[in-house]
Amino acid sequence: MKRCQMMVDVGRRKFLSGAGMAAAGIAAASVPITQANAAPPTARVNYPSNRLANVNDLKLNEPLNVSYPDNDAPGVLLKLGKRVADGIGPDGDIVGFSTTCPHKGFQLVYNKSDRTLNCPGHYSRFDCEAGGLQIWGHATQNLPQYVLRVDAKGDIYAEGVDELLYGRLSNVL
Amino acid sequence: MAYKRQIDQLPIVPKDAKEFNVTCHYCIVGCGYKAYTWPTNRQGGTAPEENKFGVDLSKQQQAEAVAWYAPAMYNIVRQNGEAMHLVIKPDKDCVVNSGLGSVRGARMAEMSYSRQRNTQLQRLTEPMVWRYGQMQPTSWDDALDLVARVTVGVINDMSEDGLFVSAFDHGGAGGGYENTWGTGKLYFGAMKVKNIRIHNRPAYNSEVHATRDMGVGELNNCYEDAELADTIVAVGTNALETQTNYFLNHWVPNLRGTSVAKKNAEFGSEPVERGRIVIVDPRRTVTVNACEVEAGKDRVMHLAINSGTDLALFNAWLTYITDKGWTDKAFIAASTKGFDKAVASNKTSLEEAARITGLTADQIQKSAEWIAEPKQGGARRRTMFAYEKGLIWGNDNYRTNGALVNVALATGNIGRPGGGCVRMGGHQEGYSRPSDAHVGRPAAYVDRLLIDGKGGVHHIWGCDHYKTTLNALKFKQAYKKRTDLVKDAMSAVPYGDRDGMVKAIMAAIKKGGLFAVDVDIVPTKIGEACHVWLPAATSGEANLTSMNGERRMRLTERYMDPPGQAMPDCLIAARIANHMERVLREQGKAKYADQFKGFDWKTEEDAFMDGYHGHEKGGQFVTYERLRAMGTNPGASGRLRRWQDHRHKAPVC
C-alpha cells in the first residue's frame, strides 16, 4: 500500500510559504523501520488436495479408513446409501469425517445400525447423516467433516476440514 | 445440519502468558481449569520453547493431551482495559477432573463477555433506572441513592419487615463466599430481614432439613469415596449428565475395576473387588447405560420405581437389613438415638414395598444384599449413598430424605471411607453469613406474601421468580400490577426531582405498589417489572471463592474485566449499605445508621477477609494468598472425609 502523496491544506500553505519541507523530509527518514520478513500468513490454513479413494472402493455402510490431511489424522469415508447434505458422488451419499473424538482425542467406532461414530472414552456420539452432529456427549464441537470432491474417474479427493481437529492447533501441521 | 465454526487454527499460548487458577463455576463438581491471557499482538510458536506447555506443537498431540484446546476454550476479552487473548482449558493436575472438560466448563472462554468476538453481549453493563417510561442507563451513585432512599422510606413506614429480599445463597457464579457475606452482612447484620428467600425456593429454608435435623450434614464424603465403595446407591440422580466429571473420573474407575489397587492400599486385607451400583430412578437414564457398559449388567441394578415411592423402598431396606442382622451395631450405639424405635415405626415388608414401588420383592431383597450383606470374612460392606433432585424435589421430601439417611446410619456408612450419604448437588457452595436464626421456622413463604400485597420494596439478587416460582402465573400477575403502580407514579415526576420522585414512589407503595431492585448479570424476566437494575460481575471478572461437593475450597482468580460498570455483588451490597447509612444520617437516625458501618470494602478480597476469614471457624487460616498457592487442589482427601471438622452449615441447592 502506498502512502497518499496529496498534501492537506495546512501542508500546502507551508509549501507555498517555502518553509518546513526539508525538515519534514529529514524527520521521516530518521525513523528506523524494521521490515517484517515473515511470509504473509493466510487467514485459514492451506489444505492439500489428497486422493483418498475411488467411489468403487466404497461399500454401502462400510467405513473405509483414510487419513487427512496427513497420516497422523485418521478418518473414514462412508457411503450412506441416502442423499445427505454435503454428500458427494453420483448418489450424493458419500461423506468423510475425522475419527478422533473432539472431546479428549479417543478414536471413534462406527455403529452401522444407526450410522453414528461413537467414543469408547466418554460415550460421545456423532451422527454421520447429519454432518457429524453430536447427538450426545462432551465435545464442544461437532465432528470435523471433510470437504470432498469427486472427479470424472470417480476418484475422491479431500480438500478441507470444517472444524479444528483434536490434538492440533492448526489443522495442517 | 450440524453447526460448524469453520475455525481450523487457534493462536498458540506463548511461554510468558499469564496463568490463573479457575474452578468451573457452572456446577457443584468444581472442575479445575487454568486460564491463560496474553496481549493480542503477540502469539506463541510451535517449538517447545515458544509455547506455555513446552511441547512441540508441530506434532499431532495424543488423547488426553495437555497442550490442546478447542475453539470453545478461546476468546478475546478485556483485562485491565486492554484487549487480551484468553484460553481456559481443563487442568490435568486437578484431582477433581484430571483434565476432563464438560460441555459446560469447556466453554467458559466462549461464554465470556467479548465485544471483539460478540459473545455474551446480553450482559447488563450499566446501572439502569425507570425514567420516563423505560429503563435508562445512569450512574451508580444515582441508582444507589434512589434505592437507599426508597428502602429507608419503606423501613421507616413498615419496619425492616417491609423490605423483601430474594438472594442466592450458594457458590460458583452468582454466589461465592464473598457475595453471600456481602448480602448476608447487609440483610442479617446491619438489618434483621426475615422476609427473605433463596434463589430457587420461595422461603429461606433448606432443601434437606431431615438430614440436618438428624445431625448429618449433606456433604459428608469426598469424591474419592466413590472410588472406594463396594456399592454405590444413586437415588434420583443422573450423574453422567449433571455431575459429568465426578461420574467419569471417580465413579467409572470403581465400576471398571481400575480403583481396586486404591482399595487394597486403603483397606489392607479386607476383601475388595470391582464396585457395584444400585440406581433408583423411574427413568432409564444415560447414567444407567454407562454403568452397564463399564461394570457389566450383572453389577448394575436399575430399580425403576413408581415415581414418588422412594420412602417405601428405603424403609423396606432398613427393615430387611435389620432383620438380617446386617446393621453396624457399634456405630449405631455410638452415634444414634432411638434406633430400635425408628426400625419399629418404619417397618415395611418386602412384599408391601414391592406393591407400592412396582418393583419385585426379589429386586428389593437383592439390592438390600448389595447394600449391607457382610463381605467374605464378615467385613462390613462399604456403601455410598448419593441422592439429588429426584429425591429432594419430590413430595414428602423430609421423611424420604430421613429414610435414606436411616439406611446409611444403620449400615455405619457415615464418615467412613467408601461411604457417605450425600447430596450430589447443583452448584457449588459458598455460604458465609451472620446468623439467620431470626428468620424462624417455618420460614416466611415470601412469594405468597408478595402475591398478598405485603412488603414495600423488593431487592432481588440473581433470582428470577417469573421463571421459577410455584404458581408463577399468579405471582407474575400480582407482581406486575404492584410494580406497575410504582412505574406509573415515577413516570409522572421529572427525574431530576429526587425528593418528588421518592414521595411519588412512597405514595404508590401505600396504595399497594412495590418498588423492585434487580441485581443480576443479565436482563431477567422479573427484571422487566423492576425499577432499578444493578449490573453484577461474574466468576473470572472478580476473584471468587467457593467449595465443591466434597467441600474442596478454591479461589477462581480474576482474569478479565467485568463489562461496563458491573461490580461484584459483595461491593454492590456494600455500596447499598454506604448509601443507606448516609440517608439515615441525613434523616437524623444516627443510631440506626451506625448499624451500616463496616462496609468500607474496596475489593472482593476485603469482603472475603471480613466474612469467611473473620467469621467462619478456621477461617483465620484462609487467605487469598494461600488459596492462590494451593491452586485447584486444596484439601487432602482424608481431611475432606472427616466432615465433622468442616461441618457444612449452608442451606444448599
* Nearest CA among B169, B22, B183 for reference residue B611: B183
B611: helix, strand or coil: helix
Q: CA B530 to CA B135: how far, in whole Å?
A: 9
**Does A116 reach chain B within 8 Å, measured CB to CB?**
no
Is B5–A164 a contact, with Cβ atoms under 8 angstroms apart? Answer: yes
Q: CA B424 to CA B442: how far, in whole Å?
A: 25
Is A105–B68 a contact, with Cβ atoms under 8 angstroms apart? Answer: yes
Give Cα separations from B166 to B184, B447, B468 (angstroms).
Answer: 12, 10, 12
Annotated catalytic residue, options A19, A122, A133, A173: A122
Which positions in chain A touch B12 (Cβ < 8 Å)?
169
How many H helices and E strands in chain B?
Answer: 26, 18
Which positions in chain A touch B60 (Cβ < 8 Å)?
72-73, 167-168, 173
Q: What residues 277-296 of chain B have any CB closer than 8 A to a CB of chain A? A: 286, 289-290, 293
Which positions in chain A touch B8 (Cβ < 8 Å)?
44-45, 161-165, 170-172
Mean pLDDT of B544-560: 96
pLDDT tens digits along B245-294: 999 999 999 999 999 999 999 999 999 999 999 999 999 999 999 999 99
B396: helix, strand or coil: coil
Cα atoms in the 13 Å half-sphere on the side-chain side of B432: 26
**Does B6 reach chain A within 8 Å, measured CB to CB?**
yes
pLDDT at residue B355, rounded to an integer: 98
Q: Å from A91 to nearest chain B CA?
A: 18
**In the structure grid, which three cell numbers stand for residue B546, read together?**
467457593
Does residue A20 register a pLDDT over 50?
no
Which positions in chain B touch A72 (Cβ < 8 Å)?
59-60
Please tell me what DSSP assigns to residue B434: S
Which positions in chain A touch B101 (Cβ < 8 Å)?
103, 138, 140
pLDDT tens digits along B141-172: 999 999 999 999 999 999 999 999 999 999 99
Q: Which of B10, B101, B103 sits opposite A169 (nearest CB)?
A: B10
pLDDT at residue B640, rounded to an integer: 53
Helix B569-586 crosses helix B177-184 at what angle (to 10 degrees)?
Answer: 20
Which positions in chain A touch B5 (Cβ < 8 Å)?
141, 162-164
Is A140–B248 a contact, with Cβ atoms under 8 angstroms apart? Answer: no
pLDDT at residue B634, rounded to an integer: 77
The CA-to-CA distance between both ends of chain B, in Å, stands at 37
Is B9–A167 a contact, with Cβ atoms under 8 angstroms apart? Answer: no
* Nearest CA among B16, B284, B189, B6 for reference residue B597: B189
Mean pLDDT of B233-245: 97
**SS3 per-residue string spanning B38-95:** EECCCCCCCCHHHECCCCCCCCCCCCCCCCCCCHHHEEEEEECCEEEEEEEEECCCCC
Place of cell 453389577: B299
What sign does the dihedral B58-B62-B68-B72 (CA atoms) show?
A: positive
Which pLDDT band, with edges at 50, 70 and 90, does B88 fall under? very high
Q: What residues 15-54 of chain A have any CB closer than 8 A to a CB of chain B? A: 44-45
B28 exposure class (CB count in 10 Å sphere: 0-12, 13-18, 19+)? buried
Annotated catalytic residue, options A103, A126, A148, A157: A103
**In the structure grid, which three cell numbers stand for residue B319, read together?**
427393615
Q: What is the CA radius of gyration of chain A?
A: 27
Which pLDDT band, with edges at 50, 70 and 90, does A43 fall under? confident
How many residue pairs from chains A and B have C-beta atoms closer than 8 A? 117
Q: Which of A73, A169, A171 sits opposite B12 (nearest CB)?
A: A169
**Does B60 reach chain A within 8 Å, measured CB to CB?**
yes
Which positions in chain B touch A131 (Cβ < 8 Å)?
1-2, 4
Residue B375 C-alpha from the chain's centroid: 37
Q: Which of B62, B72, B99 sits opposite A140 (nearest CB)?
A: B72
**Does B110 reach chain A within 8 Å, measured CB to CB?**
yes
pLDDT tens digits along B600-646: 999 999 999 999 999 999 999 999 999 999 988 876 444 455 444 33
The CA-to-CA distance between both ends of chain A, in Å, stands at 31
Q: Which residues pair with A161 in a beta bridge?
A: A146
Mean pLDDT of A39-55: 89
Answer yes or no: are the C-beta atoms of B314 and B321 closer than 8 Å. no
Answer yes or no: are the C-beta atoms of B187 and B193 closer than 8 Å. yes
Does residue B348 register a pLDDT over 60?
yes
Please tell me what DSSP assigns to residue A164: P
pLDDT tens digits along B434-467: 999 999 999 999 999 999 999 999 999 999 999 9
Does residue A35 register a pLDDT over 90?
no
A81 exposure class (CB count in 10 Å sphere: 0-12, 13-18, 19+)? exposed
Which pairs with CB-CB distance under 8 Å and at least 24 residues apart come from B608-611? B608/B177, B608/B178, B608/B181, B608/B543, B608/B545, B610/B181, B610/B185, B611/B177, B611/B178, B611/B180, B611/B181, B611/B182, B611/B184, B611/B185, B611/B432
Query: Is A138 in the active site?
Result: no
Q: Å from B201 to nearest chain A CA?
A: 30
Q: CA B505 to CA B531: how far, in whole Å?
A: 10
**Does B59 reach chain A within 8 Å, measured CB to CB?**
yes
Is A44–B8 a contact, with Cβ atoms under 8 angstroms apart? Answer: yes
Which pLDDT band, with edges at 50, 70 and 90, does B565 fall under? very high
Mean pLDDT of B568-595: 98
Answer yes or no: are the C-beta atoms of B209 and B218 closer than 8 Å. no
Task: Express as a percent the part of chain B with pLDDT over 70.
Answer: 97
Q: Which of A106, A140, A164 sits opposite B103 (nearest CB)?
A: A140
Q: Å from A106 to nearest chain B CA?
A: 6
Mean pLDDT of chain B: 95
Task: Express as a percent the part of chain B with pLDDT over 90.
Answer: 95
pLDDT at residue B380, rounded to an integer: 97
Mean pLDDT of A61-83: 98
**Does B42 reach chain A within 8 Å, measured CB to CB?**
no
Task: Tell me the backbone φ, ψ of residue B79, rounded to 5 degrees.
Answer: -135, 120
Q: How many residues does chain B have?
A: 653
Is B5–A145 a contact, with Cβ atoms under 8 angstroms apart? Answer: no
Q: What residues 130-169 of chain A have any CB closer than 8 A to a CB of chain B? A: 130-134, 136-143, 145, 161-169
Residue of A nearest to B106 (CA): A140
Q: CA B442 to CA B649: how far, in whole Å?
A: 18
Does residue A106 register a pLDDT over 80?
yes
**Does A14 reach chain B within 8 Å, measured CB to CB?**
no
Does residue B243 register a pLDDT over 80?
yes
Is A140–B110 a contact, with Cβ atoms under 8 angstroms apart? Answer: yes
Query: Is A122 in the active site?
Result: yes
How many H helices and E strands in chain A?
Answer: 2, 10
Which pLDDT band, with edges at 50, 70 and 90, does A2 fall under? low
Q: CA A120 to CA B435: how far, in whole Å?
A: 50
Sequence-distant (6+) residues with CB within 8 A of B261 are none
- Ranges A17-21, B372-376, B510-514: which has the least confidence: A17-21
Q: What is the CA radius of gyration of chain B?
A: 27
Amino acid at B31: C
- pTM for this predicted structure: 0.93
pLDDT tens digits along A78-93: 999 999 989 999 999 9
**Does B72 reach chain A within 8 Å, measured CB to CB?**
yes
Instruction: Please state whether the peptide bond connecting residue B90 to the residue before it is cis, i.e. omega within 30 degrees of 0.
Output: no
